[in-house]
Structure 1
Amino acid sequence: MMRVLTTDLGRDSKAALIMRFAILGLRDKFYSLRQMVGAGLPDHAVLDHLGVPDSPIAREATEWAATLQPEFVQYHGLRSFAFGVALGKYHNVRFDREMLYIASILHDISLGSAQCDGPRSFEVEAASCAHGWLCDQSYDRDKADIIHEAMALHSAVCHTGPRDPEGLLLHLGAGVDVVGMQIMNVHPAVRAKILRDYPRTGFVRDFGKLVADQADRKPQCHIAGLVGVGFGKALAANGLDRSC
């Protein structure tokens, strides 16, 4: 059965966002406290599972993404995938690696390309552009729909409805890379390898500019709400680079 796809994301209220971030902060403190007593420690064995899927569509998605977005956004997509894989292993989530990879490498294509941007929230514009491209490649429609939703909702912290596994792991993986969400659940050796393979050089500055531009041009878009409650400060305060 064909699913109904997300067609736009509105701006969440300041109160809802503050409450949600407070809950997420408490969750991360719980993970940290549990690990202080030796429980729920991440496993470095996930190092063997971080490789990019070697399928024709994955390679084509990588190449297409590189024509649409600057290198620092491309690397963000690659890190988001790797962190998503690590957190998938940590939380024992079963997922499709190819679908997670495609969603990860393409999830911000609208930030770096006028071709994929438009009047709606950038997350939905990117999802729509990617969905059209996947359908043009004769990719499985059900899988394309799942990738669309993963991309469209990847930054939706107030979304409490169900997510497909790939959507959950893109949300978590991008969350690690952008604001350090659940950073403690990724083994330090895994973090170090990801940062060696896909450096974050200039990411905070350059990614912050792209997000601020979206918020300025589309004041009612989804990311504008996050910017309004301190997204820029959270981005700059991410301890990822200092944690390895």
Structure 2
Amino acid sequence: MKKTIAGVDIPDGVLAQAATDQIRGTESELMFHHALRAFLFGALTGYRENLTFDAELLYVAAMFHNVGLNEKYQRSPYRFEVDGANAARDFLRQHVVVDRLIDEVWAAIALHMTPGIPEHMSPLVALISAGVHMDIRGARYDGFTAQQRDEIVQAFPRESGFKKKVIKAYARGMEHRPETTFGTVCADVLDRCDPNYCRLNFCGQVLGSDWSN
């Protein structure tokens, strides 16, 4: 793996290498490359905004952010983001990372599909969300130079049909637990991909509750 891409050094410490080895062995190339691009776009956002962050923890969070979509969690009752956050927490505990930092990585992964919250939290939480959403839906696309975008995609390609393929990957990871998409952008995925999906409505839940008034 090239060590510096678009001006960002790829972490190569023991923690980063262990995360790379674990995720490379369990995720498709499509999702593995997405994780790497998310890290790079997140790091570049941090540099542009003069934020202080731990690059290795940002890398680990990026590696684990989509783990909850894997087949291992096909029977999970939790949001896929929570499954990924829990997997990252277990990994970091094995490497004796302090609890405060583990909690930060957990929050970054758990909240990365919940718009409007991460950008008001710590740099790590904000940057994971920023990196993921830049790569997935082009959030703040023009905040990056063409050279930066080209270098990142050259190093970790967006394979042909990436947009449709990544939506399908999300749908496969959530179709067995549709209720967990309530309140996040994930509801849009199942609304598009699952003809049997019934989107939960907050107002309907309030008006249909057991309260008498």
Paired residue for 1:136?
94
Q: Does 1:89 align with 2:37?
A: no
C-alpha separation in 2, matches of 1:178 and 1:223: 20
Using structure 1 for the length normalisation, give the TM-score: 0.70
- 8 Å Cα contact 2:112-2:118 kept in structure 1: no
Tell me the secondary structure at the aligned position of residue 199 of structure 1. Answer: coil
C-alpha separation in 2, matches of 1:117 and 1:199: 31
Alignment equivalent of 1:72, drawn from 30, 40, 65: 30
Amino acid at match of 1:150: A
Give the C-alpha shift of residue 76 in structure 1.
0.5
C-alpha separation in 1, matches of 2:147 and 2:171: 32
Q: Does 1:217 align with 2:184?
A: no
Aligned length: 188
Paired residue for 2:19?
61
C-alpha separation in 1, matches of 2:165 and 2:183: 17
Tell me the secondary structure at the aligned position of residue 154 of structure 1. Answer: coil
Closer/same/farther in 2, CA of residues 153 and 110 from structure 1, 3 Å limit: same
Alignment equivalent of 1:167, drawn from 112, 115, 125: 125
C-alpha separation in 2, matches of 1:125 and 1:105: 13
Amino acid at match of 2:149: R
1:168-188: CA deviations, max 9, x gaps? Answer: 011001010000000110111
RMSD: 2.5
C-alpha separation in 1, matches of 2:118 and 2:14: 34
Paired residue for 1:196?
154
Give the C-alpha shift of residue 192 in structure 1.
0.2
C-alpha separation in 1, matches of 2:18 and 2:109: 18
C-alpha separation in 1, matches of 2:47 and 2:27: 29
Closer/same/farther in 2, CA of residues 116 and 229 from structure 1, 3 Å limit: closer
1:39-59: CA deviations, max 9, x gaps? Answer: xxxxxxx96632211210100
1:51-75: CA deviations, max 9, x gaps? Answer: 2112101000000111221111110
Closer/same/farther in 2, CA of residues 228 and 64 from structure 1, 3 Å limit: closer
C-alpha separation in 2, matches of 1:118 and 1:170: 23
C-alpha separation in 2, matches of 1:70 and 1:224: 27
- 8 Å Cα contact 1:103-1:147 kept in structure 2: yes
Paired residue for 1:207?
166
Amino acid at match of 2:41: F
Moved more, 190-199 or 216-225: 216-225
- 8 Å Cα contact 1:131-1:148 kept in structure 2: yes
Alignment of structure 1 residues 1-244 onto 2, 5 Å: 49-114=7-72, 118-159=76-117, 162-201=120-159, 202-222=161-181, 225-229=184-188
Closer/same/farther in 2, CA of residues 64 and 162 from structure 1, 3 Å limit: same
Q: Greater RCO between the two (CA within 8 Å, min separation 6)?
A: 1
Closer/same/farther in 2, CA of residues 99 and 227 from structure 1, 3 Å limit: closer
Give the C-alpha shift of residue 137 in structure 1.
2.1
C-alpha separation in 2, matches of 1:121 and 1:231: 13
